[in-house]
Amino acid sequence: MTTRHPFTALISLIITLLFAVHQAAADHVAPGDQLIATSGFASLAIQLPQHFYRGISDAADFEKPAAANKVELLNSAEAAFKQADIQHQIALAVSRALSEQDIQQLMLWYQSPTGKKISQAQAHAASEEGFSAMMAQVNDLLDQEQLLELAQVMDKQLNFVEFIVDLQEYQAFAEYSAVRSFRQQALNIDGFNERMKRRRNEMKFNAEQLVMISLAYAFRNVSAADIQAYEHFLQQPLTQLYLKAAMRGLEVGKQQMVKHWLDNVDLHIASE
C-alpha cells in the first residue's frame, strides 16, 4: 500500500471524476461494470482506500506505535475495503437506476471523439508532475476569470466541493479511530462528528480553492467547443441520474467499509 502527497491524491480524485479514464473492457464485462470503468468510477474506487490508509499512517506518525501495530491496522483496513467491495456497490446502484439502453447511450458519449479528447487530459492533470505544474501556475490560474467561472459551473454540476470535504472527513475518521486503537480507547462517534461539524466551513473554504484551481488547470487546454459539449452532456437528465446513482453506490460502499473496519479492529463505541 502506497500513499502520495495528500493534495496530489485529492487532485487525482477530482480529475478522475471530471475526466473519464478510458479502459479497454472485455466483451464479457457487464454493461454497468463497463460504464463505471469507462467513466472513471472504477478508478475512483481504487484510489479511495489510499486516503483511509493515509489517515492511519498519520495517526501512527503521531502516536509512534510498534511497527507491527501499524501494519495490523493497515491490513485490517485493506480487508475492510475488500469486504465492502466499493466498485461492486457502485455497479449495483447504477444497474438499479439505469436500463441497458441508458447505459449504452452514456457509453456512446464516453467513447465519442469529444469524450476521448477530454479524457486524454486526465493522465497528466492527476499525476505528481501535473500537480507540481499546477502549483507553479496557481497565480496565473487565479487570474483566468473565464476558466474560474467555468470551474464554478462544473462544480455545480458535479458537486466536487462537498465530495472533497466528505473525503477529508473520511480520512480524519481513519486517523481518529487509529489513534483510539493505538491507545486502546473506545470511540466517541458523537464527539468526532461534532468536531467535524465545527470545522466543516473552514474545510469547505479550502476545498473550494482546491477545486477551482484544479478544474481551471484541467480545462486550460480544452477547446471551447469541447467544453461546451461536455457541459451539455453533464446537464442531461440521464447523465445526472447516472452520476447520482454512482455516488450513492460509492457512499454505501464507504459506510460498509467503516462497519467492517470497526469490526475488524474490534473498536468499541462509547459516549464520553
Average pLDDT score over residue span 190-216: 87
3-state secondary structure 104-146: HHHHHHHCCHHHHHHHCCHHHHCCHHHHHHHHHCHHHHHCCHH
- Would 30 be classed as within a structural domain? yes
pTM, full prediction = 0.83
Residue 195 — left, alpha, or beta (φ > 0 → left; ψ -120 to 50 → alpha)?
A: alpha
Measure the CA–CA gap between 254 and 246, rounded to whole angstroms.
12
- Would 31 be classed as within a structural domain? yes
Query: Strand, helix or coil at 210?
Result: helix
Measure the CA–CA gap between 31 and 131, rounded to whole angstroms.
33
* pLDDT per residue as tens digits for the range 223-233: 888 888 888 88
Q: Give the pLDDT score at 121.
A: 61
pLDDT at 25 over 80: no
- Would 270 be classed as within a structural domain? no
134-160 burial, b at 16+ Cβ within 10 Å, e below that, comes to beeeeeebeebeebbebbeebbebbbb
> How many domains are there within the chain?
1
Average pLDDT score over residue span 173-194: 92
Which is nearest to 219 in space by CA: 126, 125, 136?
A: 125
pLDDT at 101 over 90: yes
pLDDT at 127 over 70: no
Average pLDDT score over residue span 103-115: 90
Per the structure block, which three cell numbers stand in for 3?
500513499
Residue 236: give the domain boundaries: 6-264
* pLDDT per residue as tens digits for the range 145-159: 777 777 777 777 777
Which is more confident, 134 or 130? 134
Give the type of residue at 42. Answer: A
pLDDT at 76 over 70: yes
- Would 269 be classed as within a structural domain? no
- Would 239 be classed as within a structural domain? yes
Average pLDDT score over residue span 32-42: 85
Which is nearest to 5 in space by CA: 134, 119, 120?
A: 134
- Would 210 be classed as within a structural domain? yes
| CA atoms within a 13 Å half-sphere pointing along the CA-CB vector of 234 | 18
- Would 95 be classed as within a structural domain? yes
**Which of 33-37, 139-143, 176-180, 268-272 is predicted most confidently?**
176-180
Measure the CA–CA gap between 70 and 265, rounded to whole angstroms.
12
Per the structure block, which three cell numbers stand in for 207?
476545498
Task: Work out the percent of the chain whose per-residue pLDDT is above 90.
Answer: 39
- Would 271 be classed as within a structural domain? no
Q: Give the pLDDT score at 22.
A: 47
